[in-house]
Structure 1
Amino acid sequence: MTHLPEPVLRHVCTIEAELGPIREMGPGRAGRRRIIPILGGRVTGPALTGRLLTLGADWQTIFADGMAELDTRYAMETDDGALIEIVNYGYRHGPANVMARVAAGEDVPADAYYMRTQARLETGDPRYAWVNRTLFVGVGARFASAVRVNLFALE
């Protein structure tokens, strides 16, 4: 039987997204729906650097148990001018008292709750064609008006 390699994570970048006010949509089919605009931000790291464009949003569903389903779509422009679309999907949950503090905008240690994502990046720029054929996972934290996600390539 062939031995399969263990997956390796390689840090690609840290995304610091600036967020607008939460827009509550009310109850949906699966839970409470809301939209959180992405107003810009910065991408820094060993493989990607640039700025988040002033477009995009996180379309969230908050389930009855308090878990947030994160469904974001936004774009970055690299420091050398490439445009890269980012679609990031994941979950954020934790103990009710911790999540209440996060919701209140308090600075809560990121290891006190779970915020994990899977990301798909896409570009037409040949200098960054590798993002089109790479799987990404992220570890994140929510702040009062920002989100930070460390994005890793799965190799």
Structure 2
Amino acid sequence: MREAMRKTAHIFAIALMTAPLYGQSAAQADASAPKLEFVYEELVTLGASQPVGETPQGKRNIVPITGGTFAGPRLKGHILPGGWDWQLANPGGCFTIHADYMIQTEDGVIINVRNSGTQCTSSDGKRGEILTSPVFEAPKGKYDWLNGGVYVGTLEGATVEGKPAVRIRFYHAVGAAPPSTQAPSH
């Protein structure tokens, strides 16, 4: 019994001594949180939805990407036709997208965009926003800065000349100053 109490006291003392290494105050957490920097906005035109049917994961659907435009502070151009958005509505009320398509900048550079996201319906039937996790693959050169970042997108429905489309805004997660106390690596 004494041995168990001694071990418990020892573990508690270690926890108290190391807590400052692992914990951050709210001010430290805010100071080290990444900031979002706007990259560009797409207006993507879509073709007719093609139902695949019910699968073990849910109802699957594919939507052709037919074109569109994009613009931002460092790049501008159009969306090439021929991409696809693979969609899945699962029985739990969530809807996922996995899009793969190409964009072409005004100066002729082609960049691959792979964008995934999820939207869930709450218990009261309201749809949540769609946040996406895009990955860019640009050739070496003027736009290769897109290759190494962490990006977040927002997606919402739109129309172009009465036809279905989506508006996607892409943001780069930019790190702030690191906190003064870092947790030790294991």
Shared fold (TM-score, shorter chain, > 0.5): yes
What CA distance in whole angstroms lies between the structure 2 residues aligned with 1:52 and 1:38?
A: 8
TM-score (normalizing by structure 2): 0.70
Q: Which has the higher helix share?
A: 2
Which residue in the other structure is 1:133 paired with? 148
TM-score (normalizing by structure 1): 0.84
Q: Which runs of 5+ in 2 are unaligned?
A: 1-20, 22-27, 175-186
SS at match of 1:134: coil
Q: Which runs of 5+ in 1 are unaligned?
A: 100-112
Which residue in the other structure is 2:59 paired with? 32
Answer whether contact 1:94 1:114 (CA < 8 A) is retained. Answer: no
Which residue in the other structure is 1:59 paired with? 86
Q: Identity of aligned pairs, percent?
A: 28
Give me the CA root mean square deviation: 2.0
Structure 1 residues 1-150: aligned runs within 5 Å: 5-95=32-122, 113-143=128-158, 145-150=164-169
Answer whether contact 1:121 1:131 (CA < 8 A) is retained. Answer: yes
SS at match of 1:133: coil
| CA offsets 1:78-103 (integer angstroms, 9 cap, x no match) | 0111110000000123357555xxxx
Count of residues in correspondence between the two structures: 142
Answer whether contact 1:18 1:146 (CA < 8 A) is retained. Answer: yes
State the AA in 2 paired with 1:57: W
